[in-house]
Chain A
């Protein structure tokens, strides 16, 4: 199983852009789908979207206008950008993957991003 590790700022100001990176180890990023999910404190899970290794993307319509995902095969990592953030975007953000796009067999440890001035 691959190992995933999220990284990025833990604090983002309102209206700014949240940027996270997920580093993949123990396997190649090529040929697989890579997803981002989030979990507001004390709440359930929300799927944000996925990016395929060739750059093909699919986003949750609830965030579609604000989210961008990309993949860097040379670095074996993929990224999430969420712009115009508000307090409602405060959450633990997870990167995840699996043998199929909709199956999350491997997860990162998660990183808490707080939106606050």
Chain B
């Protein structure tokens, strides 16, 4: 299975400050069609996960432009330009090119 490794596992951020989460995959997520099947989800406390970023860098419907995804091959980053209190929760990266689909361990974002 493809292993997804996230760092850090937790971070505490002051509102208005930026934040970034790293995700590394044990195999390339680049498809022959040029797409990279890397996804980012946020699971707010007590809720189901919600899709933030699909195919490496595309924001899902309704997602704030404060969120951006980047990277290539096996190294990826989720950036939040200005953290807001509503951003708290656990962030997961996920790969969708190799079966079985797998997720990172999660990164817990807290507000200072």
- Chain A positions within 8 Å of B, measured between CB atoms, are 1, 44-47, 49, 58, 60-62, 94, 98, 100-105, 107-110
Give CA–CA (A100, B61) in the complex, Å: 14
User: Smallest CB–CB gap between A20 and chain B, Å?
Assistant: 15
Give CA–CA (A75, B48) in the complex, Å: 24
Give CA–CA (A107, B39) in the complex, Å: 15
Tell me if B37 and A47 are in contact (CB < 8 A).
no
Tell me if A44 and B49 are in contact (CB < 8 A).
no
Tell me if A47 and B102 are in contact (CB < 8 A).
yes
Interface residues on B, range: 20 to 34
User: Smallest CB–CB gap between B18 and chain A, Å?
Assistant: 25
Give CA–CA (A117, B49) in the complex, Å: 30
Give CA–CA (A103, B53) in the complex, Å: 10
Asked if B96 CB lies within 8 Å of chain A CBs, one says yes
User: Smallest CB–CB gap between A3 and chain B, Å?
Assistant: 12
Please name all residues of chain A whose beta carbon is closer than 8 Å to the beta carbon of B49 when the two chains form the complex: 45, 94, 104, 107
Please name all residues of chain B whose beta carbon is closer than 8 Å to the beta carbon of A45 when the two chains form the complex: 41, 49, 92, 94, 103, 106
Asked if B54 CB lies within 8 Å of chain A CBs, one says yes
Tell me if A105 and B96 are in contact (CB < 8 A).
no
Known contacts A105-B51, A109-B48: does B99 contact A46 (CB below 8 Å)?
no
Q: C-beta contact mask, B93-106 vs A, less than 8 Å → 1, else 0?
A: 01011011111111
Known contacts A103-B51, A105-B51: does B96 contact A44 (CB below 8 Å)?
no
Please name all residues of chain B whose beta carbon is closer than 8 Å to the beta carbon of A109 when the two chains form the complex: 48
Most buried by A among B48, B103, B105: B48
